Amino acid sequence: MSTKGFRVASILFVLVIVLLTLPSMVKIPYYLHLTVLALIWVVVAQGQNLIQGYTGYVSIAQGGFMGIGAYCSALLSVKLGWTVWLTLSLSPILTGIFAILVGYPSLRVKGHYFAIVTLAFNMVIYIVLFNFRTLTGGEAGFTDIPRPGEFAVGAFNFSSLPSYYYLAVAAAITATVFCWLLVHSRVGRNLIAIRQNEALAEAIGIATWRYKLFSFVASASLAGFAGGLYAHFIRFINPDTFTVAQSLNAILAVILGGSGTLTGPIVGSFVVVFLPEYLRIADFFRLIVYGFILILATIFMPRGIVSVVGKLARWPTRSR
């Protein structure tokens, strides 16, 4: 293993240890609640990073895909009475099917045009969820969504906040490991080649459109799975939860943390969840301060927080 790989593995190992021991250290349920949300956002951001950081295409549809996964899992569990474990397993599959239908025509265009097409799709999803009141409840939302119950014949029960926290940790780790395996495979190398120079990648025989579609579907499936986790955690969803703003938050999480890295989406997810909450003391000026901080971070940390931390960690070695 290279020095860089060992460093990343060490950081992830320490992060996993901290996450596993966090419930015993956090005494205020509100902060544990925010941590669960941040872990769910890690799944969303890792998916966004696949299409944005490694493939080089900016998708503004993660919020819409979260909505598809959330409503599919919630409706199947409430209307049909299916077990939550089954509906959570189906949410990324059903979302992936929608992503294929969207990605097939969308990936024929490139650059800003692709971003605009995905933005339009997110808006269409919002309009459908808002107006299809007989099924989704419209603006009133969808309530009484069940939490996951017993798993493995009563060995684990995920109905409480601390237990759901560990479910969110498992989901975030699974998404991160999946992305790591994908990036370090032949598929990942081809995705990076497309990001660097798509025309050259196509000239040397890489089926660029097929790999882009795979990246887009995998990204959407992770967002759909995160949407299912969110629905069963909050137990209430409405269309306002899955607007374009959520898609922009996913993009911000990747940019702020570090695009094209595995640790960047993790850091960025915690920033986009915790920073607005800590800025509530500013009340009316909260969103203004939040936007100002994001602008400064984008200007002075164009490669993300992870890149800055890495440079600071290597600074003593360079000094010597």
pLDDT in tens, 209-265: 899 999 999 999 999 999 999 999 998 898 988 988 899 889 989 988 888 888 889
Write the CA distances from 181 to 46, 175, 187, integer angstroms.
13, 10, 10
CB 42 within 8 A of CB 62: no
> Got the DSSP string for 273-315?
HHHHHHGGGGGGGHHHHHHHHHHHHHHH-TT-HHHHHHHHHHH
Q: b/e map of 167-191 (b: 16 or more CB within 10 Å)?
A: bbbebbbebbebbbebbeeebbebb
Rounded CA gap, 130 and 101, in Å? 21
Contact by Cβ (8 Å): 99, 92: no
3-state SS class at 157: strand
* Closest by Cα among 288, 276, 289, 204 to 246: 276
pTM above 0.85, yes or no: yes
Ranges of residues in the chain whose predicted pLDDT is under 70:
1-9, 11-12, 149-157, 281-287, 310-320
Structure token digits, residue 1: 């293993």
Query: Which pLDDT does position 153 carry in this prediction?
Result: 43
Residue carrying the six token digits 């099924």: 135
pLDDT at 38: 94
CATH topology of domain 3-20+30-319: ABC transporter involved in vitamin B12 uptake, BtuC (1.10.3470)
Backbone phi, psi, residue 145, to 5°:
-80, 130
Alpha-carbon dihedral 290, 48, 173, 21, rounded to 10 degrees: 0
Q: Which residue has the tokens 């499936």?
A: 221
